[in-house]
Amino acid sequence: MKNLRLALTGGIILACGLPVTADVVDLGPRPYYLIDRMEDGELKERLLSCATGPFEKSDFSIGHRGAPMQFPEHTVESNLAAARMGAGILECDVTFTQDKELVCRHAQNDLHTTTNILATDLADTCITPFSPASGDTNATAECRTSEITLAEYRTLTPKMDASNSQAMMVEEYLGGTADWRTDLYSAEPATLMTHAESIELFRSLGAKFTPELKTPSAEMPFEGFSQQDYAQKLIDEYKAAGVPASDVWAQSFNLEDVLYWIENEPEFGAQAVYLIDHYDLEEWDPMDASTWPQTMAEYKEMGINYIAPPTWVLVTVENGEIVPSLWAREASAAGLNIITWTIERSGPLVRGGGWYYQSIAEVTDSDGVMYELIDVLAQDVGVVGIFSDWPATITYYANCMGLE
């Protein structure tokens, strides 16, 4: 991997001279911080009973873009941090460059918030050049991977995903990191990855794979590159690397991508994950089945085995307690495996938790609620994995509760 500051020796990743192996899991202080803030009770006592470990890697713990609460997302460094925290599955969100190479980015049009592109000569490739804030109008920009080659992409420096909407200059716009995150680990350049390089890295770390085929911002077909070509190329890179389909959970918000994999790559399609794409429709309600585009039985009939909504879709509040939503109960009853996203993406929960906690806002008033939510998702909803921006939180719970 170009500019990759690590070496693989005898199955052990050496990063900065320190080993990263499947047997080395270091959770740090955060899980204990969260447990300390829980209300006294049976769950808190159970979690405290596991305080001395030992802790092991768990497939229940999924690194969401690595560990982007503190590291630039989709970088080598972010994923090394996630692996050290015991994430058994790691994610590369997949987009494509102008020369149709697959790279790890959360969106095809996020380079202006996740890299330094606006401060480089490649700013001229941006679909929307930087425009400073003016009066009530926010600063704007839009830069896409599909407008640059892989070679050009490799020249960029990743940063924390953020922007300053009130910026008057590019340097200001590239700031804006949330106050509960940090730029501490962005001081020295992190390392971008192609999708193929992520496969090499994750396998070296003893982790499994959950790539997400991102919806293109560029019009498809893109210079002869169809949506089906795009979906196929993602799978082809695992086949070329000799990765068994059983270790891959390919994801997409586009139902047609999932159905394509099921029909054309049935071994990979058996674990393809449909990220539901209708949760933000005004008329959709996880507690009202009449508002759902399809029933859970219909998803199952399509051949879908895994489905993944955001956390708030799966829970509601009854009598002051967090309980499974109707949507969650129906999905489970239909035999669908549920994966959910994303823990540790909301900042301090004393502020209410925001978007990810909207269905349980009335009981969200402390960081201690995080483990209450995780417990309901695991024990009552029965999810098979949880994405986290700081995987230590989920790894601790999975080890304590005996989840592999």
Kindly state the greatest CA–CA separation across the chain. 60
Q: For position 280, what pLDDT does the model report?
A: 86
Q: Is 225 exposed, middle or buried (0-12, 13-18, 19+ CB in 10 A)?
A: middle
Q: For position 11, what pLDDT does the model report?
A: 39
**Identity (one letter) of the amino acid at 373?**
L
214-238: pLDDT as tens digits: 999 999 999 999 999 999 999 999 9
What tokens does 228 get?
């089906």
What tokens does 79 get?
């994923």
**Identity (one letter) of the amino acid at 181?**
R
Residue whose structure tokens are 């008057």 = 168
> How many beta carbons lie within 10 A of that of residue 347, not counting itself?
16
Cβ-contact 395, 352 below 8 angstroms: no
Dist CA 304 CA 259 (whole Å): 8
Cβ-contact 83, 90 below 8 angstroms: yes
Q: For position 21, what pLDDT does the model report?
A: 55
The distance from CA 219 to its chain's CA centroid, rounded to whole angstroms, is 24
Cβ-contact 392, 85 below 8 angstroms: yes
For Cα atoms 291, 296, 300, give the angle at the middle one, nearest 5 degrees.
145
Dist CA 286 CA 308 (whole Å): 13
Q: For position 22, what pLDDT does the model report?
A: 52
Compute φ and ψ for 142, nearest 5 degrees: -150, 125
306-308/273-275 β-pairing:
parallel
Nearest alpha carbon to residue 104 among 143, 72, 65, 67: 65
Helix H segments across 14-169?
30-36, 42-48, 76-84, 111-114, 150-153
Q: For position 3, what pLDDT does the model report?
A: 45
Q: For position 187, what pLDDT does the model report?
A: 84
The distance from CA 372 to its chain's CA centroid, rounded to whole angstroms, is 21
Residue whose structure tokens are 């380079």 = 111
Cβ-contact 87, 63 below 8 angstroms: yes
Cβ-contact 324, 289 below 8 angstroms: no
Q: For position 7, what pLDDT does the model report?
A: 42
Nearest alpha carbon to residue 100 among 216, 265, 178, 19: 216
Q: For position 20, what pLDDT does the model report?
A: 58
Q: For position 1, what pLDDT does the model report?
A: 41
Compute φ and ψ for 303, nearest 5 degrees: 100, 5
Dist CA 198 CA 74 (whole Å): 9
Residue whose structure tokens are 């059983």 = 246
Helix H segments across 241-288?
255-264, 266-269
Q: What is the pTM of this model?
A: 0.95
**Identity (one letter) of the amino acid at 191?**
T
Segments in the chain below pLDDT 70: 1-23
